[in-house]
């Protein structure tokens, strides 16, 4: 029989937005995602049998690298589409948390040999680019989650600091997702595995959402809102755009679709939300999707804002997540 610890607040419980939780308390039979010290349990029984589990797209191996020495102090993993953004974020967070590199040293892209993603480590913060779309971030998530396991990282928290199209929102607005849905409004990530369709719940951590929302300040130059984030499998037709190389739907079809989404509480559209929420949830990792809107899709499709303005907007999610990280690190110290 499973023991019920649901009413207790304790570090070895992992609470989910839907009320479910995983308990790692000794003696509790509830399925375990983490060990009592916060390290992750591998969810794939095959992993332990692989001698040198090679994280191919990261260019890191469980035997060829001392992953514990390199990464065990990681507490936060921040992901975003581009390598440039993640390098900027690495420099930003370094200043924010007062981390310094050894004299003469510079930030290094740890995965440069693989030439796929870019990854920077700033003390307890890992900053990684994930490319565009579900397949790309999915591969990265598999390898980063395994990295967390191999490196014995404790209670990591994952963030996606991304860009998106807003629905009825002023560009520059930050959306912290309280739900991740696909193009049909489904609250799960669907994958075909060995000829079968597997649906994995895409659950975001409501507590983390609320903590992030509380970090917005009245004096900020940008608004922070919450709502559902829609994950599309494409930037053009999949997001209802009429400016792709092909378009067999009308402007009216697009507007009807966007309004329908808006009525269902969808605030923004991007391309990674469902898999990010689903795989982190399945791994027992707290995570949040923090995106900035680059365009109001009710007003148009093209993203034509000058680069400098867009770069400034891309900082908005970084500011919010930076505040969270700084707060948590100072709480941990005291
Ligand atoms: O700016 P990033 O983080 O890549 O996010 C958004 O931008 C890309 C499309 O332009 C997709 O990856 C989408 O999710
Ligand atoms: O409209 C947008 C803007 C950025 N990223 C997207 O996926 N869609």
Contact 133, 272 (CB under 8 A): yes
What is the C-alpha to C-alpha distance for residues 109 and 117, in angstroms, rounded to an integer?
9
The dihedral region occupied by 213, where left means phi > 0, alpha psi between -120 and 50, and beta the remainder, is alpha
- 242 Cβ contact partners less than 8 Å away, ≥ 6 residues apart: 249, 250, 251, 254, 301
Q: Is the CB of 235 under 6 A from ligand 2?
A: yes
* pTM of the model as a whole: 0.92
**Per-residue pLDDT tens digits for 265-321:** 999 999 999 999 999 988 989 999 999 999 999 999 999 999 999 999 999 999 999
User: Which atom of ligand 2 is the closest one to the Cα of 294?
Assistant: 3
3-state secondary structure of 100: coil
How many A from CA of 205 to the centre of ligand 1? 21
Which residue's C-alpha comes closest to atom 1 of ligand 2?
165
Contact 120, 90 (CB under 8 A): yes
How many A from CA of 128 to the centre of ligand 1? 14
Say if residue 61 carries a ligand binding annotation.
no
The dihedral region occupied by 93, where left means phi > 0, alpha psi between -120 and 50, and beta the remainder, is alpha
Say if residue 85 carries a ligand binding annotation.
no
Say if residue 131 carries a ligand binding annotation.
no
**pLDDT band with cut points at 50, 70 and 90 for residue 17:** very low
**Per-residue pLDDT tens digits for 122-161:** 999 999 999 999 999 999 999 999 999 999 999 899 999 9
Q: What's the pLDDT at 247?
A: 98
pLDDT over 90 percentage in the chain: 80
What is the C-alpha to C-alpha distance for residues 99 and 127, in angstroms, rounded to an integer?
14
Which residues contact ligand 1 via a Cβ below 6 A? 80-81, 132-133, 162-164, 235, 270-272
Average pLDDT of the residues in 179-197:
97
How many A from CA of 52 to the centre of ligand 2? 38
Helices first, then strands: H and E counts in the chain? 7, 14
Tokens describing residue 34:
């983490």
Q: Is the CB of 67 under 6 A from ligand 2?
A: no
Q: What's the pLDDT at 35?
A: 73
Say if residue 161 carries a ligand binding annotation.
yes
What is the C-alpha to C-alpha distance for residues 45 and 10, in angstroms, rounded to an integer?
27
How many A from CA of 179 to the centre of ligand 2? 17
Cα 187 to the chain's mean position, in Å? 16
Q: What's the pLDDT at 27?
A: 60
Contact 187, 266 (CB under 8 A): no
Q: What's the pLDDT at 333?
A: 83
Which runs of consecutive H residues, i.e. helices, occur in 30-82?
A: 67-71
Dihedral angle computed from the Cα positions of residues 43, 49, 51 and 57, in that order, rounded to the nearest 10 degrees: -30
Q: Tell whether the model's pLDDT for residue 330 goes beyond 90.
A: yes
User: Which atom of ligand 2 is the closest one to the Cα of 271?
Assistant: 7
Contact 162, 287 (CB under 8 A): no
What is the C-alpha to C-alpha distance for residues 175 and 13, in angstroms, rounded to an integer?
27
What is the C-alpha to C-alpha distance for residues 78 and 287, in angstroms, rounded to an integer?
10
Count CA atoms within 13 Å of residue 218 on its CB side.
Answer: 0
Window from 24-33, 98-107, 128-137, 209-218 with minimum mean pLDDT: 24-33
Q: What's the pLDDT at 10?
A: 37
Contact 122, 132 (CB under 8 A): no
Q: Tell whether the model's pLDDT for residue 261 goes beyond 90.
A: yes
Domain that holds residue 303: 3-333
As for how many domains the chain has, the answer is: 1
Q: What's the pLDDT at 28?
A: 56
Q: Tell whether the model's pLDDT for residue 5 goes beyond 60.
A: no
> Residue written as tokens 């029989």?
1
- 99 Cβ contact partners less than 8 Å away, ≥ 6 residues apart: 93, 122, 123, 125
**What average pLDDT does the structure give for the chain?**
91
User: Which atom of ligand 1 is the closest one to the Cα of 235?
Assistant: 9
Contact 31, 24 (CB under 8 A): no
Q: What's the pLDDT at 1?
A: 32
Which neighbouring-strand residues pair with 61? 54
3-state secondary structure of 129: strand
Q: Tell whether the model's pLDDT for residue 334 goes beyond 90.
A: no
Q: What's the pLDDT at 43?
A: 85
Say if residue 318 carries a ligand binding annotation.
no
**pLDDT band with cut points at 50, 70 and 90 for residue 41:** confident
Average pLDDT of the residues in 26-34:
59
Q: What's the pLDDT at 14?
A: 53
Q: Is the CB of 163 under 6 A from ligand 2?
A: yes
Dihedral angle computed from the Cα positions of residues 72, 78, 82 and 85, in that order, rounded to the nearest 10 degrees: -110
Contact 317, 225 (CB under 8 A): no
Q: Is the CB of 153 under 6 A from ligand 2?
A: no
What is the C-alpha to C-alpha distance for residues 110 and 58, in angstroms, rounded to an integer?
8
Say if residue 163 carries a ligand binding annotation.
yes
CATH at 95: 3.40.50.1580
Q: What's the pLDDT at 7?
A: 39
**Per-residue pLDDT tens digits for 46-100:** 998 998 999 999 999 999 999 999 999 999 999 999 999 999 999 999 999 999 9
Report strand pairing: 188-193 vs 196-201. Answer: antiparallel
């Amino acid at each position: 029989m499973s023991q019920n610890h649901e009413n207790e607040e304790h570090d070895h419980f992992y609470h989910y937005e839907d009320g479910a939780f995983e308990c790692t308390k000794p003696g509790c039979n509830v399925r375990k995602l983490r060990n009592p010290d916060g390290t992750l349990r591998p969810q794939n029984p095959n992993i332990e049998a692989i001698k040198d589990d090679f994280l191919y797209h990261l260019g890191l191996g469980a035997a060829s690298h001392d992953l514990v020495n390199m990464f065990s102090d990681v507490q936060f993993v921040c992901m975003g589409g581009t390598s440039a953004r993640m390098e900027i974020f690495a420099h930003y967070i370094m200043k924010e948390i007062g981390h310094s590199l050894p004299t003469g040293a510079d930030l290094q892209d740890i995965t440069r040999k693989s030439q796929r993603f870019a990854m920077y480590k700033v003390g307890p913060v890992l900053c990684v680019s994930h490319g565009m779309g579900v397949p790309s971030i999915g591969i990265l998530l598999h390898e980063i989650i395994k990295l967390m396991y191999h490196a014995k990282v404790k209670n990591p928290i994952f963030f996606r600091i991304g860009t998106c199209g807003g629905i009825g929102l002023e560009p520059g607005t930050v959306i912290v997702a309280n739900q991740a849905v696909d193009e049909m409004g489904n609250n799960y990530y669907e994958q075909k595995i060995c000829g079968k369709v597997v649906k994995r719940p895409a659950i975001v951590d409501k507590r983390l959402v609320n903590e992030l929302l509380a970090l917005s300040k009245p004096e900020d130059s940008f608004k922070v809102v919450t709502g559902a984030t829609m994950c599309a499998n494409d930037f053009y037709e999949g997001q209802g755009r009429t400016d792709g190389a092909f378009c067999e739907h009308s402007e009216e079809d697009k507007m009807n679709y966007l309004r329908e989404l808006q009525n269902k509480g969808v605030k923004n559209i991007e391309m990674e939300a469902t898999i990010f929420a689903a795989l982190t949830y399945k791994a027992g990792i707290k995570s949040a999707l923090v995106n900035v809107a680059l365009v109001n899709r009710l007003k148009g499709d093209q993203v034509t804002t000058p680069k400098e303005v867009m770069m400034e907007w891309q900082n908005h999610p970084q500011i919010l997540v930076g505040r969270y990280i700084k707060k948590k690190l100072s709480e941990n110290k005291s």
